[in-house]
């Protein structure tokens, strides 16, 4: 098994050394530029002011200065790439050390506010699961990874993802290069607008290309005949007049076409850097080859087809040159290139969405592969097909929370031969809520296609609903209790869906009196279990632990604390049965309350 920490440290040291080399080269070239500039000034003074040297002596220092400028630009660009590479490995080491917040993309706004578990399980936001995983450099890539975290996939799709992630995991060079190239893409590409431009209706007339070619050919022939003395200037004048008439008749559609090209051409140019890197990577996995085939489809790969459009966009700018402008007019330059742009869009525009989609998938898979590389001991879970009864199944050993590297591992067993519902009691701060989050996050990772921080995990596809972070709302006039029962209704609706439900209910109905809590909690739990759901319910109310009956469908477990030398200590280990004591009074006294 490889040592990711050692390899990342080695690569970081190499990239930092490259930055230091470029810094020294930058300083040397800067000094040389000053020296050459001084030599040029001295040569100019001797040749122009003193007339001691011929003027051509100035050529040598000027050429040397121009060469140094180009060399300097290359060194600065190489240093920028080396700094990005160093930052890539610094972020990876920070993740391994548990320093996640602020190292990546938090994914704010990618989850709908009403999602039944995203906020409860810290899937998005600073220091979140998304920030831990995401290596995508485009918005579609981020959205694809977010969708995988928010919605479980079918077993076959999950197994295909697992194979692709396993195949990508060792490809650290690929992930580093994509990250380096992607800094420009993240800032420059609006994927939705780009795909919309590619699929939009034509702006220029259908016959513009043959018409512009014919007019350009006529003008060239007339000019050549006039220059050769075959005939006078009348044909050329007629051709130029026809050019003017054509330009005037198509001025509006040509202007719209070329104006609409500016941003897509720049975005596609940057995007082609990523596409070209993905096109040339050798893949063995079937899913990865299929995605790559989307980028390589046709006689030319996507990056080459984009290069043709970018070249056309660059040639359009020639018409703005005052020396070339008269020639451009005679060659129908703008109408001709507007027609070429429309022909490109007709041939390839609708493929832009497919290119972005394939790249988004590859970026999401690469994000999960980074996690697999950095944690080689984490296994891929076994995905089990739901039975005819659609009952949930979840069996795990030594589950750990990915955001808490030093957390104590615990097991879980729900469904199958185990209980359908686990009632977890325990003292304050003993680990009940963390246990719920650990189980929930492992399930989310498993059903996204990622390896999980556990010794083993076996599960059916599950929809997850949780009540770990229920908030009241002054603006909405909603109490905490009302917010909780609204979420419970949402979870109940999820239990009626096609995918079995895993519910994680923290301190269920603690906002009401013990009598109503006992009746309401039992009704909710038994109704969910009757629909094939499985879940974990935490509570401080030991009366609820009596819900566990002789049929074994509901079982009790607990976390506890110990008092050592007058201090409360926790081992955060789940034990069977009901907790036998409370630490609330001790904690209150510990903070100075007189109780």
The pLDDT profile of the chain, 595 residues, written as one tens digit per residue, is: 789 999 999 999 999 999 999 999 999 998 988 888 888 777 766 665 556 656 556 677 778 888 888 999 999 989 998 999 999 999 999 888 888 877 788 988 899 988 999 999 999 999 999 999 998 888 888 999 999 999 999 999 999 999 999 999 999 999 998 888 866 666 557 788 888 898 888 888 888 888 888 888 888 888 888 877 777 778 888 888 888 888 888 888 888 888 888 888 888 887 888 888 889 899 999 999 999 988 887 678 999 999 999 888 888 888 887 778 888 888 888 888 888 999 999 889 889 989 989 989 999 999 999 999 999 999 999 999 887 778 899 999 999 999 998 889 999 999 988 899 999 988 777 889 999 999 999 999 999 999 999 999 999 999 999 999 887 655 555 677 888 888 989 999 999 888 999 999 998 887 777 778 888 888 898 899 888 899 999 987 777 788 877 567 899 999 887 766 656 777 889 999 887 766 665 655 665 666 5
Handedness of CA 434, 439, 541, 479 (dihedral sign): positive
383 beta partners: 459
State residue 168's pLDDT score: 95
pTM here is 0.85
Instruction: Return the C-alpha torsion angle 310, 314, 319, 320, nearest 10.
Output: 130
Looking at residue 473, what is its pLDDT? 57
At residue 55, the pLDDT reads: 55
Phi then psi for residue 282, to 5 deg, are -75, 120
Q: Which residues pair with 567 in a beta bridge?
A: 564
pLDDT score, position 515: 77
pLDDT at 187: 55
Pair 420, 394: CB distance under 8 Å: no
62 membership: H or E segment, kind and range: helix 59-96
Which bin fits 288, alpha (ψ -120 to 50), beta or left (φ > 0)? alpha
Judge contact between 505 and 511, C-beta under 8 A: no
If residue 374 lies in a helix (H) or strand (E), which one and from where to where? helix 351-374
Residue where the block lists tokens 């819900």: 547
Long-range contacts of 1-9 (CB under 8 A, 24+ apart): 1/376, 1/377, 2/376, 4/92, 4/96, 4/373, 4/374, 4/375, 4/376, 5/93, 5/96, 7/172, 8/89, 8/92, 8/93, 8/96, 8/374, 9/93
Nearest CA to 534 out of 500, 507, 557, 509 is that of 500
Supply the DSSP string of 104-134, one letter for each residue. S---TTSS-TT-SSTTTTT-SSTTSHHHHH-
Question: Torsion over CA of 366, 368, 369 and 375, rounded to 10 degrees?
Answer: 150
The pLDDT assigned to 186 comes to 61
Q: How far is CA 475 from the centre of its chain?
A: 33
**DSSP code per residue over 393-445:** -EEEEEE--TT-TTPPPEEEEESTTS-SEEEEEE-TTSSHHHHHHHHHHHHHH
Span 189-228, pLDDT tens digits: 778 888 889 888 888 888 888 888 888 888 888 888 887 7
Q: How many of the other CB atoms lie within 10 Å of CB of 41?
A: 11
> How do residues 142-170 score in pLDDT, each as one tens digit?
999 999 999 999 999 999 999 999 999 99
């Amino acid at each position: 098994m490889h040592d990711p920490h050692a390899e990342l440290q080695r690569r970081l040291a190499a990239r930092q050394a490259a930055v230091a080399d470029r810094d020294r080269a930058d300083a040397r070239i800067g000094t040389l530029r000053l020296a050459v500039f001084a030599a040029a000034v001295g040569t100019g003074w001797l040749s122009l002011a003193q007339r001691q040297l011929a003027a051509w002596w100035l050529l040598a220092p000027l050429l040397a200065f121009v060469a140094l400028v180009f060399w300097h630009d290359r060194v600065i660009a190489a240093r920028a790439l080396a700094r990005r590479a160093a930052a890539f490995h610094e972020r990876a080491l920070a993740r391994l050390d548990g320093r996640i917040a602020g190292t990546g993309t938090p994914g704010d706004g990618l989850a709908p506010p009403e999602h039944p578990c995203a906020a409860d399980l810290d899937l998005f936001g600073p220091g979140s699961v998304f920030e831990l995983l995401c290596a995508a450099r485009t918005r579609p890539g981020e959205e694809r990874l977010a969708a995988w975290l928010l919605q479980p996939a079918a077993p076959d799709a999950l197994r295909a993802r697992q194979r692709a992630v396993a195949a990508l995991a060792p490809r650290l060079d690929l992930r580093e290069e994509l990250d380096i190239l992607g800094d420009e893409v993240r800032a420059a590409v609006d994927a939705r607008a780009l795909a919309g431009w590619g699929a939009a209706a034509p702006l220029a007339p259908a016959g513009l290309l043959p018409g512009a070619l014919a007019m350009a050919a006529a003008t060239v022939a007339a000019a050549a005949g006039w220059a050769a003395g075959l005939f006078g200037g009348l044909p050329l004048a007629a051709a130029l007049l026809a050019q003017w008439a054509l330009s005037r008749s198509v001025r509006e559609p040509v202007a719209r076409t070329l104006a609409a090209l500016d941003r897509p051409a720049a975005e596609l140019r940057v995007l082609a850097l990523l596409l070209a890197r993905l096109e040339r990577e050798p893949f063995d996995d079937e899913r990865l080859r299929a995605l790559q085939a989307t980028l390589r489809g046709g006689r030319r790969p996507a990056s080459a087809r984009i290069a043709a459009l970018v070249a056309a966009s660059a040639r359009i700018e020639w018409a703005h040159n005052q020396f070339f402008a008269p020639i451009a007019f005679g060659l129908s330059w703008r109408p001709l290139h507007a027609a070429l742009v429309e022909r490109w869009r007709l041939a390839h525009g609708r493929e832009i969405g497919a290119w972005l989609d394939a790249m988004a998938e590859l970026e999401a898979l690469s994000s999960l592969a980074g996690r697999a590389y950095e944690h080689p001991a984490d296994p891929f879970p076994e995905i089990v097909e739901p039975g005819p009864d659609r009952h949930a199944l979840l069996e795990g050993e030594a589950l750990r929370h990915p955001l808490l590297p030093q957390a104590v591992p615990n097991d879980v067993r729900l469904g199958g031969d185990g209980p359908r519902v686990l009632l977890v009691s325990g003292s304050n701060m003993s680990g009940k809520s963390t246990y719920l989050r650990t189980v929930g996050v492992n399930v989310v990772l498993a059903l996204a296609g990622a390896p999980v921080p556990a010794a083993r995990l076996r599960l059916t596809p599950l929809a997850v609903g949780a009540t770990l972070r229920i908030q009241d709302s002054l603006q909405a006039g909603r109490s905490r209790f009302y917010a909780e029962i609204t979420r419970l209704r949402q979870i109940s609706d999820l239990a009626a869906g096609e995918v079995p439900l895993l519910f994680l209910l923290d301190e269920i109905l603690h906002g009401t009196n013990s009598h109503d809590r006992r009746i309401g909690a039992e009704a909710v739990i038994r109704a969910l279990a009757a629909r094939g759901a499985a879940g974990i319910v935490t509570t401080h109310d030991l009366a609820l632990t009596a819900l566990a009956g002789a049929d074994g469908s509901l079982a009790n477990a607990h976390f506890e604390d110990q008092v050592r030398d007058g201090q409360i200590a926790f081992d955060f280990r789940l034990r069977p049965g009901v907790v036998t004591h409370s630490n609330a009074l001790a904690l209150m006294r510990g903070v100075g309350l007189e109780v």
